[in-house]
Chain A
Amino acid sequence: MSEARTTLLEVHEVSKCFGGIYALNGASLAVEAGEVHALIGPNGAGKTTLIHVLSGALKPDAGAVVFDGQDLARKPMHSRAALGLARSYQITNIFPRLSVLDNVTIAVQARARDWGTSFRFWKPFSVDAAIVDEAHELLAQVSLVGLARRRAGQLSHGEQRSLEVALALASKPKLLLLDEPMAGMGPEESERMVALIGHLARRVTMLLVEHDMDAVFRLADRISVLVAGTVIATGEPDVIRADPEVRRAYLGDVA
């Protein structure tokens, strides 16, 4: 890894409390531009809560989130996406009744900075060929080209997971939040997803939340470990693997 990277996302002392229980308790984290940063931790450590705080679905009780130099505190979910912070969902969240192609075109169309506003009421969408072309390219990247006309709800679980990633990619994000992209996948599907993420990693910074340790250690440049709402360690995979505190708190109960 090269030196002097810039910090793209900084999570500073973020806390979130649900009815007296701290899901996040002063969690801090920095994602540098260009890296694949994995976030691991046992169940209930607060990983999903952190993703929600980053995407804007939840408001933190304390702490700050700075993305690309901007404080996100008062930014609603949609403007975070417009700033370049895209997410995928742990539980597949697509448009099941639309075709696979329409799923991706509507995601590509969201990039108002490239195509202009979608408050256009008269001109038919069919003239926006560039949007559709780009959607086809995205489908090629996630190996769904042959299924473009299918209804998204009819895809297999693994294909839906790929579509999920394509939707997040469509915004050409600076940072991609992947929330357990391998969730519920068989070994073959997982292998394909690891390859896809590895391929994407060359172009986009990622914060990867994942349970599959094998995948995490293969993909991540750096790893942060979240335990009981606090990040207890951050470092390169080998350092994390060797960290005694991490082993005790987390890896110990897996091994």
Chain B
Amino acid sequence: MGFYATSTRRRLVAVAALCALTAMPWLLQALDQSFYVSLASRILIFALAATSLNLVIGFGGMVSFGHAAFFGAGAYSVAILAGSGVVSAALAWPAAMGVAALLALFIGAISLRTRGVYFIMITLAFAQMAFYLVVSLKAWGGDDGLSLMHRSSFGSLDLKDDNTFYFVVLSVLAMVLVALDRLAHSRFGRVIQSIRENETRMEALGYPVFSYKLVCFVIGGALAGLAGALLANQTGLASPNLLHWMQSGTLMVMIVIGGVGSVFGGVVGAVLLLLCEEFFVDISTHWQIGLGLVLLAVVLWAPLGIAGLFGWGRNRE
């Protein structure tokens, strides 16, 4: 298994995928299927959220069951800022990341004192707190969520235009992936992966393990906040559903399908899961039985995810 390394082949696949995704709006237009652009944006946003969780679980080895809290925090931050007149994406999106990062700092600083299942449960508990908080606060729309009064504005770009928004999302995701790829190969990346492998030994070698894990957790939270900010802009709503624990579970499903501990695992998983959802819902309302069975099969027989099956995931030894 070893440290994550991006092979040349994987880089080529990523560049090819980026080219294809860049060309997609025109392609869809030519096929007269432009309404799929909005679905594509949604998928890429979830890809970003799943990628952020993969940093925490796959690289940091922290099985967090409360990642939806940061996703939701980003969405609500943007909606609240928009309500008070802050619509500039250059302000609102970093602010959303900042809020999510602060929340992650708070939750992480307490949760990382615990280990194993206790960590899973305490992160879940904090996410539940956040969920019930937004559900019961009427000022934030309660059950109905908080609608975004104004979409964020980005200089002269018109984010209300589906294609423009799609390109913004695609650029954000591409930048994050490049940054995470750098991170995975950096000193920090090697430290957190080693902590995942053997925490006690790292402590004995002189690494302040807690600080490294916390920083990793906070980066993951901030990126999830960014994804939340984008999603609120896409749907025009900050919904409490974003903070629901099933959402945390779904993000976990994505990275397990796509490949835990691989920079592109979250993207692969989000694309596969959401495309399946989109197309199977039309075939049968009970498609979740199929999803459940596929997920079981992946967990039992393909622990490295779909990506692992094809060797796109972590290094094969």
Which residues from chain A sit less than 8 Å from chain B, CB to CB? 55, 76-79, 81-82, 86-87, 89, 93-99, 102, 105-107, 109-112, 118-126, 128, 151, 167, 170-171
Contact = CB atoms under 8 A, between A and B. Distances in A.
A146 to B, nearest CB: 18
B84 interface: no
Contacts of A97: 1-2, 197
A93 B317 contact: no
Given A93-B200, A106-B190, 8 more contacts: A86-B204, A95-B198, A97-B1, A97-B197, A118-B191, A120-B188, A124-B182, A167-B205
Given A106-B190, A125-B185, A78 B206 contact: yes
User: Which residue among B185, B188, B191, B206 has the maximum number of chain A CB atoms within 10 Å of its CB?
Assistant: B206
Interface string B191-223: 100100110111111111100100100000000
Given A82-B206, A106-B205, A171-B206, A124 B186 contact: yes
A141 B204 CA distance: 21
A106 B191 contact: yes
A89 B205 CA distance: 12
B317 to A, nearest CB: 6
A97 B207 CA distance: 19
A50 to B, nearest CB: 16
B187 A118 contact: yes
Given A109-B191, A121-B188, A122-B183, A77 B197 contact: no
Contact of B190 (A55, A82, A109): A109
29 contacts: A55-B204, A78-B203, A78-B204, A78-B208, A79-B208, A81-B206, A89-B201, A93-B204, A97-B1, A97-B2, A102-B3, A106-B194, A107-B205, A110-B205, A110-B207, A120-B187, A121-B182, A121-B186, A121-B189, A122-B179, A122-B183, A124-B185, A125-B185, A125-B190, A126-B185, A151-B317, A167-B201, A167-B205, A171-B206
B2 A99 contact: yes
Contacts of B197: 95-98
Contact of A119 (B3, B188, B200): B188
A175 to B, nearest CB: 13
Interface range for B = 20 to 34
Given A97-B1, A99-B2, A125 B205 contact: no
Contacts of A118: 187-188, 190-191, 207, 212
CB-based closest 10 A-B pairs: A81-B206, A118-B187, A110-B206, A110-B205, A82-B206, A120-B187, A97-B1, A124-B185, A95-B197, A77-B203
Contacts of B204: 55, 77-78, 81, 86-87, 89, 93
A26 B3 CA distance: 45
B206 A93 contact: no
A89 B283 CA distance: 58
Nearest to A84: B206
Query: A77, A86, A102, A111: which has the most chain B beta carbons within 10 Å?
Result: A77
Interface string B149-185: 0000000000000000000000000000001001101
Given A111-B206, A119-B215, A93 B187 contact: no
Contacts of A78: 203-209
Nearest to B317: A151
B205 A98 contact: no
Nearest to B183: A121
A92 to B, nearest CB: 10
